[in-house]
Structure 1
Amino acid sequence: MSRPKPEETVAYFHRYIDLVENGNIVEILAKNHTETQAIIKNITDEKAEYRYAEGKWSVKEVYLHLMDVERIMAYRALRFARNDKTDLKGFDDDAYVENANAANRTLADIAEEFQAVRNATIAMVKHFTPEILDRTGTANGGNASVRGLVYIIAGHELHHRNILNQRYF
């Protein structure tokens, strides 16, 4: 799968896509997630509740956010892959995090769910043909290709891992 061209997503997402290394995106999704899961396994319960500033997400909330965004981007990719031309609505990531029930979750069960989400994403993406990857649609008022959405998933995970490393750990 080739990298997305700039016009395959709105400019906001380029910062995520730029973080993704060159190579087989399915392998990259698997490798990145293995690395993320290794980080999760080394976080104490106390550290999982840490927020680096007032109003910022806890470590658990960051991981729940990653899952929410992956599900939404994968859903968009599925819709566009099936040539659905419906303009899909956006979402409020802060509201999603606020309602994610992080306080009542353990990192172990978050990691288990996150693995299931990634497995489902990979299972879908590995069967996309070049023609399917080129298909586009509109979400939150902006155009995106299926390819672009897959790269957003990979880059978004890397973006938040970088933030976790810089501000939380």
Structure 2
Amino acid sequence: MMITAPQPNEYAAFSAPYVRLASQHDDILALLNTLKDSTHQFFCSLDADKAEHRYAESKWTIKQVLGHMIDTERVFAYRAYCFSRGEEKELPGFEQNDYVAAVDLSNRTMHSLADEFRSVRESNLYFINALSDAQIAITGYVNGYTVTVRALLYMLAGHELYHLQLLKERYL
């Protein structure tokens, strides 16, 4: 199945950077699958002492960034799941800083978190690969904005690409 890039009216304007990053790739399904492994390898390759590094005092640690990526993977996929199943109610937004602050990662290793990320993505890929063309085009409502399932898939990949780029530029 080939999933074309969403149009700007399929997502909120603040999501455009994520969609734009993912749209630079021809096949969103292949990208999500490739990123599953390359992101896992990237985080596993980092020295353990890097896990608590932050590039500024008020910024997240690398471990927290990965935790945030896992949270967002779950939230975006849940939204896509709900809408693909016909949910008509508006779904809430989520405050990323509150989510990061609510989890204690002190006993987690980078490798453990990377494994969790890969597992969540693998599960999501089963769901995504089973979507019909009609389901991909469904529109739902999140926090006052409309979004299609297709756009959520591009946002999923684009969010990951955004944070990987940020980590490489500012953290490492």
Normalising to structure 1: TM-score of the pair?
0.97
Identity of matched residues, %: 36
Contact 2:19 / 2:155 at 8 angstroms: preserved in 1?
A: yes
Cα root mean square deviation, aligned: 0.9
Q: Give 1:3's aligned amino acid.
A: A
Moved more, 15-24 or 156-165: 15-24
Deviating beyond 6 angstroms after TM superposition, the runs of 4 or more aligned structure 1 residues are none
Q: After TM superposition, give the deviation of residue 33 of structure 1 in Å.
A: 2.3
Separation in 2, partners of 1:79, 1:72 = 11
User: C-alpha displacement at 1:3, in angstroms?
Assistant: 0.5
Instruction: Show the 5 A alignment for 1:55-94.
Output: 55-94=58-97
TM-score normalized by the length of structure 2: 0.95
Count of residues in correspondence between the two structures: 169
Map residues 57-136 of structure 1 onto 2, 5 A cutoff: 57-136=60-139
Matched-pair contact (CA < 8 Å) for 2:40–2:115: no
Instruction: Kindly state the Cα deviation for residue 142 of structure 1 after the two structures are TM-superposed.
Output: 0.6
* Cα distance in 2 for residues equivalent to 1:121 and 1:71: 8
The AA in structure 1 aligned to 2:28 is I
2-structure distance, mates of 1:141, 1:98 = 25
Q: What's the counterpart of residue 140 of structure 1?
A: 143
Matched, 1:38 2:41: yes
Structure 2's unaligned 5+ residue stretches are none
